Amino acid sequence: MSGCGMQMEGGKQLFAQASAVSIHTGNIVNWSRLKKKCPTSPSEELQDCIRETLEKWCSQVSPELLKEPPATLECTITQDVDSISPEEREEVKVSAKLFLSDPDSSGIKDAVKKACSALAVSQLDSVIIAPPPLEDGASLSLSHLQPYWEELETLVQSQSIVAIGTSDLDKVLLEQLYQWAQVKPSSNQVNLASCCVMPPELTAFAKEYDIQLLTHSDPKELIPMLSFQEAVIASIQDNLAYEWITKWVLRYSVIVKSRGIIKSKGYLVYAKRIRY
């Protein structure tokens, strides 16, 4: 068996034994494969990124790693990581959107910590939260949102995040959150697929309380469980891929302030194995 084949088998072995996996795509801005394919949606882009990262990681598995397999795999391609130097930190803005797949709010702190570590920064300039989709098509309420917001507030107070924002809140819920929260939302994303024009009452409220309204095209669930499992199968050929479920996805962008261009963009994904 060739060296590459042996490494691939090693990667499959590590996956079979792992109970959790943390994937960091690194900077995908210059990925030629993505540019050629032009993903049609944020979900397809993420699935492609996961598959590409796992394939690269699997081909570079260290024999030392096989001797003591970790419970949590750290799947990162070192040469693809574009960390921020102290000299350029003031020149860039680091923003992130955190998509939760699990009701447990404790993953928020872990996601922010991993993002700061990956980018070599002490804090993120802004984080927008996308709570997990509710079952049976139920609508998001303040009581559902509060645990996630409290976790974000703690991170603002510890100076891990500068500003925090929301996604897809209507005027009523945004106002409820604003009145209740200790740390006020600085932004609210609106999906223009659901409304072609910003609702006037939402626009008026946001203007009065200095909340920035942003647009986005993200689905409620950035990567469905089946799509993640398909990416694992395509890259690792893991026959037990159905045991993996995503807990959260963090998408970050590093923007050069003076020019308004994206210098770096990437994904962090955390998934756990559920034994049936």
pLDDT digits (tens, 9 = 90+) for 169-195: 999 999 999 999 999 999 999 987 766
Q: Is the pLDDT of residue 2 over 50?
A: no
**Which of the pair, 230 or 37, is modelled with greater confidence?**
230
The token duo for 132 is: 């997990």
Span 127-134, average pLDDT: 93
C-alpha distances out from residue 102 to 27, 109, 169, Å: 26, 14, 19
- Residues 169, 190: Cα–Cα separation, whole Å: 7
Span 242-261, average pLDDT: 94
What end-to-end distance do the CA atoms of the chain give, in Å?
A: 33
The token duo for 183 is: 């740390």
**Which of the pair, 184 or 275, is modelled with greater confidence?**
184
Cβ atoms of 130 and 188 within 8 Å: the answer is no
Cβ atoms of 55 and 7 within 8 Å: the answer is no
pLDDT digits (tens, 9 = 90+) for 19-40: 999 999 999 987 755 555 666 7
- Residues 124, 120: Cα–Cα separation, whole Å: 10
Write down the pLDDT at residue 267: 96
Position 236 confidence tier, pLDDT thresholds 50, 70, 90: confident
Among 73-82, 169-178, 226-235, the range scoring the smallest mean pLDDT is: 73-82
Among 4-8, 228-232, 250-254, 255-259, the range scoring the smallest mean pLDDT is: 4-8
C-alpha distances out from residue 276 to 53, 175, 245, Å: 27, 42, 12
Write down the pLDDT at residue 30: 79
- Residues 185, 168: Cα–Cα separation, whole Å: 13
The token duo for 21 is: 């996996």
Amino acid identity, position 88: E
Share of the chain above pLDDT 90, in %: 64
pTM for this one? 0.92
Query: Which of 169, 258, 236 is CA-nearest to residue 7?
Result: 236
Cβ atoms of 54 and 23 within 8 Å: the answer is yes
